[in-house]
Each structure stands twice: as C-alpha cells, then as structure tokens.
Homo-oligomer: A and B are copies of this chain.
Amino acid sequence: MKKKYINVGLIGYGTVGKGVVKILGENKKIVLRKVGKPICIKSICDLKPIDKPELYVKNFRDIIKDPEIDLIVELIGGYEPARTVIIESLKAGKNVVSANKAVLAKYWDQIFTTAQIYQKSIYYEASVGGVIPVVQGLSEGLASEEVFEIKGILNGTTNFILSEMKKHCVPYEEALKSAQKAGYAEANPSFDVDGIDTANKLAILASLAWGSWIKVKNIPLVKGIADLDIEDILITQDFGYDVKLIGSAQKTKDGIDMSVQPCLINYDHAFTTVENEYNAIMITGKDSGDVLFYGKGAGQQPAASAVVSDIINLSKSIITNTVGIIPDVVYDSKKKIKILPIGKSKSPYYLRFAVIDKAGVLSKISGILAEFKVSIARSLAQLNINGTDYGRIIIITHETHLEDLEKALKQINATKSIVKHKTVKIKIEV
C-alpha cells in the first residue's frame, strides 16, 4: 500500500504539543522535501477541549484505535497515563514519538521489549538535551565507539538558575524566582533542582551507551543545586572554576562511576561557555576522543523542533515500511552492568571549612585529612574576617576516594572546637 501522507495523533497538548503543531504547519515544504509525503495531524487528545475543536479527541484510546493513524506523539509527561499510551500504542501497531524522559528511564525494559515484539519504533530525541540530537549522535553517529564516558549539563532549569546566581550575585532562592518568572522552572521545581531530571536523562544515555538498562534508582548519588551557596560560586571563580550541575557516567575497571551533583569545571573547558537554558553533553569514546553536543535544553520551540525531527525521521521508516526490522535500541535485558559504589569514586574536591579563628586550626584540619589519605593541592586560609572570630579555610584536594574524604570530614565536622558549621564539599570535574 502506497501511503499518500502520514497521519499523526498527538496526545498531550501543552507547550511542546502546541509547538509541534506550529512547526509542522510552518515547515510543510521542508517536511515534504525530507519525507516525500505530507505529515498531517489528524487528532489531538488533551484533558480539556482545545483551540482546534475539529481535531479534538477526548479519549486517547480513540486515537490509538484509529486505523488511519500511523504515528502517535506522546507529550503528556510523567508516568501515567504516559506509560499506558506508549505501551498500548506499540501493541496496537503504532509507532511512537515521545519526549518523556521519566517514563523512558523508568520503563525502559518494558517499552523497548514491547517495541521489539510488535516490531514498532519509539523515537525520543527530545527526551534528552532538548533540541540537541544526542540520542542519535550516541547511537548512530558514534555507532562504532566503545564509550568511556558521558558527562553532561542535562537540565536547562538548573543551568539557568546557576547562570542567574553568578551573573547577579544572588542566592539560590532569588535565582529560582527569576527562573520561575522566565518560565524555566515549575512552581514545584523539585524534579529539576533536586537533580532527578538529570538522573533520568543520564540513565537513558548510559543505557544507550552500554547496551543495558541502567536504572535511575541505581545511580548512587543524585544531588541537586538547592543548597549551593553563592559564597562558594564566588570563591571558586577566583580559583578558575565555574559551578555546573553535572550528570556523569564513566567506565572504570570496577564498574560505571555514576553521579548527578554540582561540580566545579575548569574555565578552559567548553562546559563553562554553556549558560542559561543551554545543555551540553560530552561523550568520550575509545577512538573518537571527546565529542561535544550543545544546544537549548529547554523552551517550547527547541523541544518541539526535536519532536518534529523525530516525526520526520520515523515517517521515513513508515513510508519505506521498515520500522522495527532492526530494533532501534539494541540491548540485552539480562546483561548486568556493575555500578561503582560511590565511596570508591575518585576525584579532587573543593572544601570550605567555616572555622573558629584560633591557633592550630589549619594544622588540625590538614592533620585529619592526611590521616585519611586526603592530600592537599592548594589551600587558602582567611581568618579574622571583618574582625570577627569567624574564619574560612579553602582546600582543593588532590584526587581522593570519596569514602576517605567523607570519613575525614565526619571527624572534622564533629570537632566542635574547630568548625562552626558543616563543611562544604564540591566535586571537581577533571
């Protein structure tokens, strides 16, 4: 059967959904040139009636059942009914485009197994890095690579907040408000600022890179930016660092070293040019070396653009009738990938001690660090600040096992005669 056009059913008509309809409307010529046939939105489902009543469908199952629809775009977000939409669509013989990192990361195995069984495809470029074509870059562009490391600024909201803090010298709470005003942060920002969104995206990239399902809950450290102090951003600037929320996964001989946490990035690294809602992902392969992808990670048009690109690319497979012959995500659900316990993770760290200004404080702190094999690369003591008995000691460590550092800090923090409050510790990315 020769298809005259591709019929799309859109489920979820929020910001991104509206963007998709807009782009498909405006870029008809480009679509026709790339696909060879027009792409039409046949139905749109949303909780409430929409501005295009002629396309409105109340029940998503009516879209899934519609035999004329070739491709379903799931833009609901969250776990349910998004998971149901995806799974039922695949089972009904539909191909799916989704931007939903949460549902993908959580139901990776179920989704791709279903796609494989029913020989259908699910494309999800917009789920990671917004407009950046990193899913395809990783799975096809770097198809031949043995991946050593994935490292990314994967969340536009937190990156916007960090940029605001730095630019205007304001604390986290104030920068969060600016992000909310600019539409980059939700009223309840927890999913973004606590690092969960980054963890989802990191799990997707790691699963793709190493051919197995790496679960979000197995990432041993997921820490957001909510307790970052502007003081540390300013101090570390003088040391030549920029603070970014980094999701990273690195192959070591004892397992994948994975974490989501604020990190210090050296000013000569490309990541330090990534400001505001931009994202960047660095993939390091055995033969490729470092490959970096950079672009807008948030915003209506960038996300919608990625969804439309997926629709275009998937439509080409639908027309050639080749969907699912080779699964898009090839992995072995039984293959277990070992994750390195976080204590074994090795890095240099930035430490800020808030100390009592009295003789022997630096010697005491450095003594305890040495006892736990934490070696000092640089230190700076500023005591008697503004004539008070408050002081701070900044230490940049050499590479150290996190468990050693934590033991040392536990002991230092417990010594009330030296420290005034809990020591700040930020990983330094190398």
Contacts and interface: CB of A to CB of B under 8 A. Distances in A.
Interface stretch (A84-92, A268-276, A412-420): A268-276
Contacts of A268: 273
Given A273-B273, A287-B301, A288-B301, A33 B330 contact: yes
Interface stretch (A315-323, A346-354, A375-383, A386-394): A315-323
A interface SS class: mixed
A296 interface: yes
A30 B270 contact: no
Interface stretch (A168-176, A223-231, A306-314): A306-314
B144 A23 contact: yes
A295 B288 contact: yes
B36 A305 contact: no
Contacts of A142: 131, 133, 305, 309
B292 A292 contact: yes
How many copies of the chain does the oligomer comprise?
2
A326 interface: yes
B136 A309 contact: no
A212 B289 CA distance: 33
A293 B296 contact: no
Given A23-B144, A33-B211, A136-B140, A289 B295 contact: yes
A154 to B, nearest CB: 15
Interface residues of A, number: 62
Nearest to A27: B144
Interface of A: 19, 23-24, 27, 30-31, 33-36, 125, 131-133, 136-137, 140-146, 211, 268-270, 272-274, 280, 285-296, 299, 301-302, 304-306, 308-309, 311-313, 316, 319-320, 322, 325-326, 330-331
19 contacts: A27-B144, A27-B145, A27-B146, A33-B331, A34-B143, A132-B291, A133-B133, A133-B137, A133-B291, A136-B140, A137-B137, A140-B309, A145-B309, A268-B273, A287-B304, A288-B305, A292-B295, A316-B326, A319-B325
